[in-house]
Structure 1
Amino acid sequence: MRSLNSLRNISYGVGGQLLSNILSFVNRTVFIYTIGISYLGITGLFSNIFSLLSLAELGVGSAISYSLYKPLAEHDIPKIQALMNLYAKSYRLIALIIAVAGLVTCPFIEYIIKDCPDIPYLKVYYLLMLSSTVVSYLFTYKRTIFICDQKAYRDTRNKYFFLILQTILQSVSLLLLGSFTVYLLIATLATFAANLAISYQADKAYPYIREKAATKIDQETKQTIVKNVIAMMMHKISGIIVYSSDNIILSAFLGLEAVGLYSNYYLIMNIITVFLNQIFTAITASVAELYVTGNVEQKREVYHTIYFINFWIVLFCSLSFYFLLNPFVTLWLGEKFLLDNLTVAVLCFYYYNQNMRHTVGTFKNTAGLYWNDRFKPIFESVINIVSSIVLLKFFGIAGVFMGTIVSLMTTSFWVEPFIVYKHVLKMKFRFFLLDYLKYYFFSAVIFGVVFVLNSFVPSGGVIPFIIRCFICLIVPNAMMLIMFRKSKRFKRAVSFLSPVLSKLGPLGRKIKKLGE
C-alpha cells in the first residue's frame, strides 16, 4: 500500500509538473520578448526577498506536519483537530507578520539593486508580489492533511490545475496588454483560488477538521512541537539565506541583468529539481509510516533503494544540464543570454551535490531529527554569504555559486547523513562516505565517456543539439545498466518501480526482466 500511494502521488506530481513546465517555457519566452530581461530580474529579486521574509514561518509547518503522521495513522481525530486548529492560528499570524515586514521593507527596495533601472511603478510591483506571498499562507495549511495521509496527489492535482490556468492567463495578458501589473494580479488571484479550492476539498474529505478541537494538545506533543520549531527556525533561516541570497548578491554587486540571465538557467534546472521534489514529497508519508512500523533492516533496504534511484536520476540530469544548457538557451533566446562555461559547470556541480541530499533529507524529516543538527544552519549561512561575496570578486557570477558549494560541502554534506546513519539506519558514517565516493567514481567515468562523445559534435544548430540530446539520453543510462544490473540495489529499485515500469510497454518489461 505504501508503494502504491507513493507511485500514485509521483504520477500526479510528474504529470502536472511536465505540463506546467511546457507552459512555463512559453510564458517565459513571451515575457522576455514583450516586457524584457530587467522585469525578469525584478521577479527573481523580489521572489528572493519574500523568501527571506518567510522566515516568519520558522518551520512551524514542518514541525506540525511531523506531529500529524502518528494520529492520522491511528485515526486519533481529537488530536488531529487540535493540531489543525493550531496550524490555522499559526499561519494566520505568519501571514500578518510577513505583510507587516514586507511593508516595512518596501521603502528600501532601490538600495539593494545596483544601478537601479528607471522602471516605473517599481514599488507597486513589489506590493503586488507581496500580496501574492501573503495570500499563499491563507488556507494553505489544510493541504498538509492530504500530504501526511499519503494523498498528496489530491493537493498536487489542485495545485497544478490552478498553476497551469495562471500560466495561460499570464501569457495571454502579456500578448494582449503587455502589462506587468496584470501579470502579477493574475498570480495573486490564482494563488488565492488554489488555496480556497484545496481548503474546500480538505473540509469535505475530513469534515471533522472544521470543528473546534474538543481536547487540547497534550504536553508531550507541545514540547515536541516547540522543540522542533526552534530547531526548524534555525534550518529555515539557513535554507532561505543560502537559497535566496544568490539573487540578492548578484543584484547588489552585478545588477539586475545578471539576475535575469541566471533566472533563465534557474528556470530550466528548477524544472527537474521540482520533479525530484515531487518524487520525494510523494514518498515522505510512506517513509514516515515505515519509520513508525518498520524494523531497522527494512529501513536500510528502503533507504538504499531510494538512494540508488536518487543517484541515477541526479547523475543523468546533471550530465544533461552540462552538455545541453548553453546549446538550448542559444536556440531558445540567442547567444546574448548565455552564461559562460565555468558558471554552467559550477551550477551543474552544485546541482549534483545538492540533489544527492534528497534521500537523506527525507529520512531525516520523517524521523523528526530537526533538533540534532540545529547549529548546522548557522555555520552554513555564514560560510555561504562570506564565501559567495569573496569568490564573486574573482569569478563573477560563477563565484556566487562556488560560495554556495563551499557552504554545502562543509556543513550539510556530512552533518545530515551522520545523523540519519546514527539514529535511523544504525550504521557507521563511513558507510555513507564509501557509498558517496563510489557514486562519485561512477559519475566521473560516465561523464568522461559522454564528454568525449560530445567533443565530436559540432556546436550550434538544431541537428547538433538533437545529437547531443541522444548522447545524453542513451549513453549514461546504458552505462548505468551495464554497471549495476547485477547489483541488489538495482533489483530492489526495479521491484519498487514495478507498477510504473508495467506501463512502459516493451521497454518496461525488458527493464523488469533485467531486475529479476
Structure 2
Amino acid sequence: MSTRIINARRNIISGFANKLLSILMPFIIRTVVIKKLGMDYLGLDNLFVSILQVLNLSELGLSSAIVYCMYAPIAENNVKVVNAYYGFIKKAYQIIGVLVLFLGVLIIPILPHLIRGNVPSDINLYILFFVYLFNAVISYFLFAYKNVMLSASQRVDIYNNIMSISRLAMYALQIIVLFSFSNYYVYIIMVPLSTIINNIITSKYVDNHFKEYRPCGKLSSEEIESLKHQIIGLFIGKLCVVTRNSFDSIIVSAYFGLVVTAVYNNYYYIMNAVVAIMAIISASIIPGIGNSIATETVEKNYHDFMKFNFIFCWVTGCCTIFLACLYQPFMKMWVGRSNMFSLSSAILFAIYFFVLMIGNIRAAYTEAAGLWWENKGRAIFESVANLILNVVLGKVWGVNGVIVATILTTVIINFIMSSKIIYKYYFKNIKINEYFMISLFWVIATGISMIICLYINKIVELDGILELVKCSIICLCVSNTIFWVIFHKTKLYLKSKKWIVKAFER
C-alpha cells in the first residue's frame, strides 16, 4: 500500500475523531456553563469568538495557499524552496499577529456598544476580551507556522491527534474548574494555556521529524506573484463563510443582549453540528472530483455532478425535516423552555440549514475547478449584503429578521449567483435550467414533508426522550416516502440508486 494511501487513511480517521470531539465536548461545556454560570456568560463567549473570527480574516487563505505550493517541492525533495515558503509564512504570521492585536485594541472602546443591556456583575469586559484576544494572537508568534509542514507532508493526522489530546485535557480542566469554583476567569484562562501547550508540542514534533527544513531563504518574484493570486482567491472564497454567523451573532448581541445571543448560538450550534456531519458524508461521495475534472470530459463531470447533487439533496432534505421537528423538544430537554426561541425561529433555522447545504456539491465542484477568482465579487457582495440586511431586518423583525437576512443572501447571492458562475466558466455549453428545476423540486418536496411531519407530531405530544424518538420515526418514514413518491421514476433517482448499490458492493 502506497504512503499516500496510508497517510490519507490516517488523516480521515484522525479527522473524524477530531470532528467528533469538536462536536460533543463543546456541547457538554455549553451545558455546564449554562447550569453553573448562566446564559449571560455563554453569550459573552459567543460574542467575543465572533468578533475575533472577523479580526482573523487576514489569515484566511494564507496557510492553504502555502500548503498547496509546498506539495511539489516536498515531493521533489527541493529543500531550498520548501524553506523559502516556510520562512515566508513565519514572517507573514508575525505580521498578521501584530495586525490582529492592533485591530483588537481598536475595538476595545466600542465593546459596550456591542452588548444590549448589562454584563455579569463579576466580569470586567475589557480584561475578559484581552484574554480572548491574547489567545487569538499568541499562535501567530508561537510556532503556528509549523503546522503547514504537517499539512504539506500529508500528516494532518499528527496535528489532529495533538489538537484532540490538548482539547480533551482543556475541556476536562474547564469542567473541573466550573464545578469547583464557578469562576469564569479561571475557566477561560484554560483556552490560551491549551493553545500554548498545543503549539509547543507541535513545534517539538516538527523540529524532530522534519530536521532538514528551516524557515530561511526568499521566494522568487514569480512565486510570490502566484502565491498572492491564490491567497486572494482563497481569502475571498472563505470570506462569506466566516462572516456569515459572526455578523449574525454581533448584531443579535447589539440589538437583544447576551442571553438572546446565547440562545441564538445554541440553535446555531445544533445546526452546525449537522453541517459538520454532512461534511463527512459529502467527503465520502466526492473523493475524486478534482482528479475527475482534470482527466474526464465536462459532460461526464456534469452527469456526476447532478448525480452527487441529487443524493446530497435527499440527505439534506431529511436532515432539514429532522431539525424542524426535533429542535424544540431537544431544546426543552437541554436548556429548558425559558431559554428557547419560538417554533417559527426553529423552522427558520431549519430553512437556513437547507439553503446552506443544498448548494454544497456545487460548491465542491466550484472549488475543484479553481473558480475562486471568478467568485470574488459574489463573495464580497454576499458578506456586505448579509451585514446590511442583518441590521435592517433585525431591527424590524427581531431575531427572526437576522435569520431571514442570512437565508435571503444565501439563496439569492450564494446559491443563484454561484451556480451561474460554475455554469458560465466550467459547464459552459450546458443550460442551467435543469439544475435550478431539480433544486426547486427539492424545495417543494422538503416543504411538503416538513409541513406533514410538523402536523403529525403535533397530534400526539410526549415528553423527553420518547418525544425525540417519536419525532425521529415520523420524520424518517414520512420524508423518505414522499421523496420516493416524487422522484422514484426520474432518471436521476435511478442513476443515483445504481451508483449507491455499486459503491456498497465494492
**Shorter-normalised TM-score: what interval?**
0.7 to 0.9
Q: 2:363 aligns with which of 342, 361, 364?
A: 361
- Between the aligned partners of 1:281 and 1:202, the Cα distance in structure 2 is 28
* Partner residue in 1 for 2:172: 168
Q: 1:104-503, aligned counterparts within 5 Å?
A: 104-117=106-119, 118-137=121-140, 138-147=142-151, 151-203=155-207, 206-210=210-214, 212-213=216-217, 216-217=219-220, 219=222, 221-277=223-279, 287-292=289-294, 295-296=297-298, 299-300=301-302, 303-304=305-306, 306-426=308-428, 427-458=430-461, 460-477=463-480, 483=487, 487-496=494-503, 498=504
Contact 1:16 1:156 (8 Å CA) reproduced? yes
- Distance change in 2, residues 1:206/1:23 (3 Å): same
Alpha-carbon distance in 2 for matches of 1:342, 1:453: 17
Who is 1:52 aligned against?
54
Rounded Cα–Cα distance in structure 2 between residues aligned with 1:424 and 1:4: 33
Q: How far apart, in 1, do the equivalents of 2:79 and 2:483 lie?
A: 47
Distance in 2 (CA, whole Å) between partners of 1:74 and 1:292 is 22
Distance 1:305 1:140, change over 3 A: farther
What is the Cα deviation at residue 34 of structure 1?
A: 1.1
Q: 1:412 to 1:66 in 2, by over 3 A?
A: farther
Q: CA deviation at 1:270?
A: 1.9
Deviation at 1:294, TM superposition (A): 5.1
Asked whether the equivalents of residues 66 and 148 of structure 2 are also in contact (C-alpha less than 8 Å), the reply is: no
The Cα of 1:53 is off from its aligned counterpart by 0.9
- Residues 352-376 of structure 1: CA deviation (Å, up to 9, x unaligned): 1112333233333343322112222
After the TM superposition, which of the residue ranges 340-349 and 129-138 deviates more from structure 2? 129-138
Deviations 1:375-433 (A, max 9, x none): 22332233212222222233211101111112222211122233333434454433432
* CA distance in 2 between partners of 1:300 and 1:255 (Å): 47
Q: State the secondary structure of the residue aligned to 1:216.
A: coil
Whole-angstrom CA distance in 2 between matches of 1:5 and 1:311: 30
| Amino acid of the structure 1 residue aligned with 2:116 | K
Distance (whole Å) between structure 2 residues aligned to residue 120 and residue 442 of structure 1: 49
Paired AA for residue 434 in structure 1? M
Q: Of the candidates 21, 24, 44, which is equivalent to residue 23 of structure 2?
A: 21
Instruction: After superposing the two structures, state which structure 1 stretch, 245-254 or 467-476, moved more.
Output: 467-476
Quote how far apart the aligned CAs of 1:330 are.
Answer: 0.6
SS of match in other structure, 2:86: helix
Aligned partner of residue 96 in structure 1, secondary structure = helix
**1:12 matched to which residue of 2?**
14
Q: Using a 3 Å threshold, how does the CA distance of structure 1 residues 233 and 240 change in structure 2: closer, same or farther? A: same
Change over 3 Å in CA distance of 1:312–1:291 after alignment to 2: same
- Distance of aligned partners of 1:434 and 1:209 in 2 relative to their CA distance in 1, 3 Å threshold: farther
**1:38-97 deviations in whole A, cap 9, x for unaligned?**
111100111111111112225323433443455566666554443333222212221221
Counterpart Cα distance in 2 of 1:17 and 1:243 = 19
CA distance in 1, matches of 2:46, 2:413: 26
Identity %: 26
Quick check: 1:41–1:256 contact (8 Å CA) kept in 2? yes
- Does structure 2 conserve the Cα–Cα contact (< 8 Å) formed by 1:17 and 1:160? no
Q: Which amino acid aligns with 2:168?
A: I
Question: How far apart, in 1, do the equivalents of 2:497 and 2:195 lie?
Answer: 40
SS of the equivalent of 2:213 reads helix
1:4/1:100 CA distance change after superposition, 3 Å: same
**Contact 2:32 / 2:178 at 8 angstroms: preserved in 1?**
yes
The alpha carbon displacement at 1:125 in A equals: 1.0
In structure 2, do the counterparts of structure 1 residues 75 and 346 end up closer, same or farther at CA, with 3 Å as the change threshold?
A: farther
Q: Distance in 2 between the 1:153 and 1:239 partners?
A: 25
Are the equivalent residues in 1 in contact too, given 2:268–2:349 (CA < 8 A)? Answer: no
Change in 2 beyond 3 A, CA 1:56/1:362: same
Q: Output the CA distance in 2 between the equivalents of 1:397 and 1:314.
A: 24
Match of 1:507 in 2: none
Change (3 A) 1:235 1:472: same
- Counterpart residue identity of residue 447, structure 2: A
C-alpha distance in 2 between matches for 1:266 and 1:401: 10
Aligned length: 497
Counterpart amino acid of residue 324 in structure 1: L
* Post-superposition offset of 1:495: 4.3
Deviations 1:271-298 (A, max 9, x none): 2223334566789985445545555456
Segment of structure 1 superposing worse, 106-115 or 360-369:
360-369
Q: Where does residue 504 of structure 1 map in the other structure?
A: none
Measured in 1, the distance between the counterparts of 2:351 and 2:152 equals 33
The residue matched to 1:209 in structure 2 has which SS? coil
CA distance in 2 between partners of 1:49 and 1:377 (Å): 19
**Which residue in the other structure is 1:509 paired with?**
none
Q: Tell me, which stretches of 5 or more residues in structure 2 are unaligned?
A: none
Change (3 A) 1:424 1:343: same
Alpha-carbon distance in 1 for matches of 2:197, 2:480: 41
1:120–1:335 Cα change, 3 Å = same
> Distance in 1 between the 2:453 and 2:177 partners?
42
AA of the residue aligned to 2:192: T
Q: Is the 8 A contact 2:271 2:349 kept in 1?
A: no
CA contact under 8 A between 2:86 and 2:215: conserved in structure 1?
A: no
Alpha-carbon shift at residue 337 of structure 1 (Å): 0.7
RMSD: 3.3
Bigger Cα displacement from structure 2, 6-15 vs 223-232 = 6-15
Kindly provide the amino acid, as one letter, of the partner of residue 33 in structure 1: K
* Change in 2 beyond 3 A, CA 1:416/1:103: same
Amino acid in structure 2 at the alignment position of 1:130: L
How has the CA–CA distance of structure 1 residues 453 and 69 changed in structure 2, closer, same or farther, with 3 Å as cutoff?
farther
Task: For 1:132, give the aligned amino acid.
Answer: N
2:43 equivalent to 1:41:
yes
